[in-house]
Amino acid sequence: SKPIVAIVGRPNVGKSTLFNRIGKKRVSIVEDMPGVTRDRIYMDAEWLGHEFTMIDTGGIELETNDTMLNAIRHQAKLAIDEADVILFIVDGKTGMTNSDEEVANILRNTRKPVLLAVNKVDTIKDNHDIYEFYNLGLGDPIPVSAANILNLGDLLDAVVEQL
């Protein structure tokens, strides 16, 4: 089967937007577990002849009384278990948050490749928004705009390099 690229990050950073930009078509959806509704979205994608399957981990939701933080921790752990490459998305407009640091703490403990993309860098003049994310300790942040389809080629180059 194809290598798996999991998209991880706190709500509202643009995971699903990016997922839909990169993916070709939706291939499957829902899986139920006791206490947990795993609404994982999978999609096939291809870049320069390299095929892979993407997971939008934002589709994984815990019980409603669970905290957002627990939900994203859970997503990050699932991604670590199942992915070949982890694509960690943060938001250049809001800047770094505690939730980003929480996810980064989990991702730093995997040997799997982690790519850090700063979404919502909508124009070249917003490029300075990426610098604070060096503090996450996950390497060079890659600026992208899922909305404006900016720099997605560079991001995908970095992804397929790790497959």
Indicate if the alpha-carbon torsion angle 84, 151, 131, 118 is positive or negative.
negative
16 near ligand GDP, rule: CB under 6 A? yes
20 near Mg ion, rule: CB under 5 A? no
Q: Which stretch binds Mg ion (CB under 5 A): 7-15, 24-32, 41-49, 98-106?
A: 7-15
Write out 62-76 in H/E/C secondary structure: CCCCCCHHHHHHHHH
13 near ligand GDP, rule: CB under 6 A? yes
- For helices 15-22 and 152-161, give the axis angle rounded to 10 degrees: 80
> Which CB atom, from 23 or from 58, has the smaller least distance to ligand GDP?
58
Q: Are 109 and 137 in contact (CB under 8 A)?
A: no
User: 100: which residues sit within 8 A by CB, 6+ positions away?
Assistant: 9, 10, 90, 133, 136
- Choose from ligand GDP, Mg ion, none: what does 17 bind? Cβ within 5-8 Å by kind: ligand GDP
Indicate if the alpha-carbon torsion angle 13, 17, 21, 25 is positive or negative.
positive
Contact pattern for ligand GDP over residues 122 through 141, marking x by CB under 6 A:
x-------------------
110 near ligand GDP, rule: CB under 6 A? no
Binding residues for ligand GDP, rule CB under 6 A, total: 15
Which residues would be at the binding site for Mg ion (CB under 5 A)? 15-16, 58
Which residues would be at the binding site for ligand GDP (CB under 6 A)? 9, 11-17, 58, 119-120, 122, 145-147
